[in-house]
Structure 1
Amino acid sequence: ANGSQAFNDHVAAKLRAALGRPLPQMEVRVKGLSVSAAVVVGRHEDGRELPTLTHTIKKAALKLSAQKYVVHKTILRSFSGVFEPGTITLVLGQPSSGKSSLMKMLSGRFPLDKSVAVDGDITYNGVPQRELGGRLPQFVT
């Protein structure tokens, strides 16, 4: 581990010397980030019955006429935090608690469509995420 740290320090020193200035740093701030989605769900079917021909036909008919409704699922609820340059942040949580969604939101890779509602602000060195647009991956190196 010490050898890799020494190598990284050596490369960083060479880059600083070549650039003539310190290496760029990135601070990420998140304030009140909430993500929710409208999910279409159908009627719950009992999966404990035997797979007979009658039950299979009945299930197929119910799927065609099944009443579907929309449920609003909260993915992240009012998350705030600061990711400072030069630090490593460990994101822990229960399964389905929104860890991957948080990381996708921070990287600009969360699939946004009309069924997804996003509230809150994400800034990179004080610049809002919406102003960076497609240039966000250029800052992460």
Structure 2
Amino acid sequence: MPEVANVTPAEIRAFANLPSEVPEALLTKHIEIAERALASAAGVAGAPDGLEQEWIEALTVRALASVFPWLNTFALDGAAKVGRLEGSVEYRFLDADEVDAKVKGLMSRFEELVAKVTPADPADETQGQASADTAWLGAI
């Protein structure tokens, strides 16, 4: 297995077009959460050979699913939905339903990617075979 594929806060920020005001430390914590979640879900600590990009995308979408609910905390209570960050660029804060929908979409993509990067179960190799006592039958 190759070296563990990882993502950086800058890559998360670029993937989701997050403003620079989102603290790097916050993104780093959620990347760590994503690393643990992906390793647990896939049953391996690193990307299988040839699936490094899928592993990185899975880490990215899982980190974003974890961090999205925290992003609106940058707005003060009673602040308008649209705020000015980074000069003249306007960012619209998501409402609770929009955050929930975004997280569900990200988690759905995460599950698709986990299915791709999870090594095949050796028990699956016996699928399509049946045995009865000492007789063995295999489907070709």
> Could you state the TM-score of these two structures normalised by the residue count of structure 2?
0.21
Which structure has the highest helix share of the two? 2
Compare CA radii of gyration and give the structure with the larger one. 1
